[in-house]
Amino acid sequence: MKTTPTRISDESPVSGPAGGPVEGPPRTFENRRPLAQRVRDWCTAFAFTVPALVLFGLFVLMPILYALYVSFFNWGGFGAPSDFTGADNYVRLLGDPVFLGDLWRGLLLVLMSVGVQLPFALAMAVLLNQKLRGRAFYRMLFFAPYVLSEVITGVLFSMIFSPDDGLADKVLGAIGLDHVGGLWFADQDWVLPTLFLVMMWKYFGFHMMLYLAGLQSVPDELHEAARIDGAGPWQRFRHITLPLLGPTIRISVFLSVIGAIQLFDLVWVVTQGGPDHHSETMAVTLFQFGFRRYQIGYASAISIAMFLISLVFALLYQRYVLRRDTEGAITTMRGAR
């Protein structure tokens, strides 16, 4: 998301952008420095990045490259991969109903999140941005599930939604709605919506906090002026709050898509992808093939597919959706300080 040119030292000698941070030492000084010193500087800078580079290279970049390599083999995980099968794993992937189903379910989760969870979080943020008594308490309460691990959340709700003797069925039974839900996670049609409910319980507070932070940068004067001009609450929300929250909303959509792509812990603990794959995600499929059936080559192809999907999505999203925020986001952040 950075647009700063790479070759800083050759730029004309001006200080940083108006009011912005000055990058490194003053450039007038930089330009006059002899080559030997610049080389020394480069070496110092490089030395500082070595620990991070080693960690990142060994445990992030190398595994991904290795997965790419292995994905062209039929491999059980022991010895060196030798049975080269070309693109077979990928061809198989594109015809695998479970994987295609993963994509579909991922899309459903994203749609539910963007259509239900995020508007709900936004509504709560706007509500708790008003002068309500106890709003600090409610903010803290709504965000609290975010700090719990997905495993704890998953185990908790698998017991709450346990058929017949779980809290959900008991409550529904007590108010005469026994026919609703029923099997929950064990029902092919209910499992995904129920999972989504749990995700919403856990994550809407996170998005609400993002929106609340964004709302801080919406100046009160704008609302004041609009109110004087006779704009109602809805009009003010629609024409002031919403446009000014644009950058925050786009980030929160981005985060919830990335979250849906890598969803694993919750599903694994609650359903392991069942019943009959109806809650399976890409990461669960990957785990099943990689660590249960030892088809490492095929599982690697799944992880490369996940990687490509994330990458393409992130690049497109940055190129077409986030690009226009770069300028606006920076100025509003400055204004908020």
Partner 1 sequence: MSGLTFTARRRLRSAPLYVIVWAIGVVMVTPLLYAVVSGFKTTDQLSDNAFGPPSPWVVSNYTDILASGSFWRMLASSTLIAIGTTLLTVGAAALAAFALARFAFRGRELLFTLFTAGLMFPFAVAILPLFILLRTFGLLDNPWGVILPQAAFGLPMTLVVLRGFFREIPAEVEEAATLDGCSPFGFFWRILLPMARPALGTVCVLAVVGSWNNFLLPLLVFSEPGWWTIPVGVQQFQGQYAADIARVFAYLVLAMIPALGFYAVAERQLIGGITMGATKG
Of residues 119 through 158, those in contact with partner 1 by CB under 8 A are 124, 127-128, 130, 132-133, 135, 138, 140-145, 147-152, 155-158
Q: Please, what sign has the CA dihedral across residues 97, 102, 107, 109?
A: positive
- Beta-carbon contacts of 248 under 8 Å, excluding residues fewer than 6 positions away, are 210, 211, 213, 214
State the nearest-atom distance from the C-beta of 77 to partner 1, in Å: 7
Question: Where in 76-132 does DSSP place strands (E)?
Answer: 83-84
In three-state secondary structure terms, 142 is helix
Stretch that binds partner 1, among 2-10, 89-97, 178-186, 224-232 (CB under 8 A): 2-10
In three-state secondary structure terms, 74 is strand
Burial profile 109-135: b = 16 or more Cβ within 10 angstroms, e = fewer: bbebbbeebbeebbebbbebbeeeeee
Q: Per CB under 8 A, does 2 bind partner 1?
A: yes
Q: Per CB under 8 A, does 286 bind partner 1?
A: yes
Interface residue with partner 1, options 51, 86, 97, 176 (CB under 8 A): 51
Give the footprint of partner 1 on residues 155-194 (CB under 8 A): 155-160, 162, 165, 167, 170, 174
The answer to whether the CB of 303 falls within 8 A of the CB of 286 is yes
Give the footprint of partner 1 on residues 311-330 (CB under 8 A): 311, 314, 329
Which is closer to partner 1, CB of 112 or CB of 145? 145
Burial profile 232-250: b = 16 or more Cβ within 10 angstroms, e = fewer: eeeebbeebbeebbbbbbb
Interface residue with partner 1, options 26, 193, 232, 243 (CB under 8 A): 26
Give the footprint of partner 1 on residues 69-108 (CB under 8 A): 70, 77
Q: Per CB under 8 A, does 213 bind partner 1?
A: yes
Q: Per CB under 8 A, does 58 bind partner 1?
A: yes
Give the footprint of partner 1 on residues 239-278 (CB under 8 A): 247-248, 251-252, 255, 258, 261-262, 264-265, 268-269
What gap in Å lies between CA 130 and CA 236, rounded to an integer?
A: 14
Question: How many chain residues bind partner 1 (CB under 8 A)?
Answer: 107
**Which tokens in the block code for residue 112?**
């539910």
